[in-house]
Homo-oligomer: A and B are copies of this chain.
């Protein structure tokens, strides 16, 4: 029998592929990975259950990372599936799960789907002109990491665009609740394009103070993408300074810093001008 890893794409219930849906309907058990992405917002277990016409079991971080056996249990005799927002190989955790399954001689099949890594092409910037993807971490209480800056600078230098994935905090515990051993979670938080642009400009300022010419400035162009693939998708092309003050609405957001642009790319971006 087979352990299926099924991508859900950009987060609408109808974004599953026909192949994926057919498999979900025939599997003995269906798990839903509930932490790396958007599931707290918009798409939830009950919506999926209604659409699939079957039960879906939520698997939180602890189970997927530390208790994979629970998910794989019985996959040697029945078809079992795990649903993952985006493409199944967007996160390291799933590689680990595949390896565990292989060690148990369980056949693994993957039903791919889109992720922001290729959907970002909708802004008009060509996928083959992107350099390394970076993750921008949410600044909290004086913890202000900036390790992604160097990657952006390297991309810029080479003329590449940079896709910045923005931090998501779901199922986080407050220090107080953690110490009390209470499994009470803070409301999910998503880094917005405005916040990310603000952080980036702060980093540029600090570089300048340190005598380094920053890779970008307030006037540098950027592209903000919100809810890609959703009915209310929004794309905005403006300066980093403007982005730092612009409200793109509900999550998820992604930010792109364009490198060298071709005329066709510029023409397309101009249709999203602020």
Which of the residues B18, B87, B96, B271 comes within 8 Å of A114, measured between beta carbons? B87
Q: How far is the CA of A111 from the CA of B18 in the complex (A)?
A: 14
Q: A14 touching B10 by the CB < 8 A rule?
A: no
Q: A118 touching B90 by the CB < 8 A rule?
A: yes
Cβ of A264 within 8 Å of any chain B Cβ, yes or no, is yes
Which of the residues B14, B92, B96, B121 comes within 8 Å of A89, measured between beta carbons? B121
Q: A132 touching B114 by the CB < 8 A rule?
A: no
Give the Cβ gap from A159 to chain B, nearest Cβ, in Å: 10
For residue A131, which residues in chain B have a CB less than 8 angstroms away from its CB? 131-132
What are the interface flags for A229-268 relative to B under an 8 Å C-beta threshold, 1 for contact and 0 otherwise? 1000000000000000000000000000000000011011
Cβ of A27 within 8 Å of any chain B Cβ, yes or no, is no
Q: A126 touching B14 by the CB < 8 A rule?
A: no
Cβ of A19 within 8 Å of any chain B Cβ, yes or no, is yes
For residue A17, which residues in chain B have a CB less than 8 angstroms away from its CB? 9, 14-18, 113
Give chain A's interface residue range (CB within 8 Å of chain B). Answer: 35 or more
Q: Please, which residue of chain B has its CB at the minimum distance from the CB of A130? A: B132
Q: B268 touching A87 by the CB < 8 A rule?
A: no
Cβ of A221 within 8 Å of any chain B Cβ, yes or no, is no
Q: How far is the CA of A21 from the CA of B87 in the complex (A)?
A: 19
Cβ of A22 within 8 Å of any chain B Cβ, yes or no, is yes
Which of the residues B99, B118, B265 comes within 8 Å of A117, measured between beta carbons? B118
Q: Please, which residue of chain B has its CB at the minimum distance from the CB of A14? A: B19
A-B contact pairs, 28 of them (CB 8 A): A13-B18, A14-B18, A15-B17, A15-B18, A18-B18, A18-B21, A87-B121, A88-B121, A89-B119, A89-B127, A90-B118, A92-B264, A98-B268, A99-B264, A99-B267, A110-B122, A111-B229, A112-B119, A113-B113, A117-B117, A117-B127, A118-B118, A127-B133, A128-B135, A130-B132, A131-B131, A132-B160, A154-B158
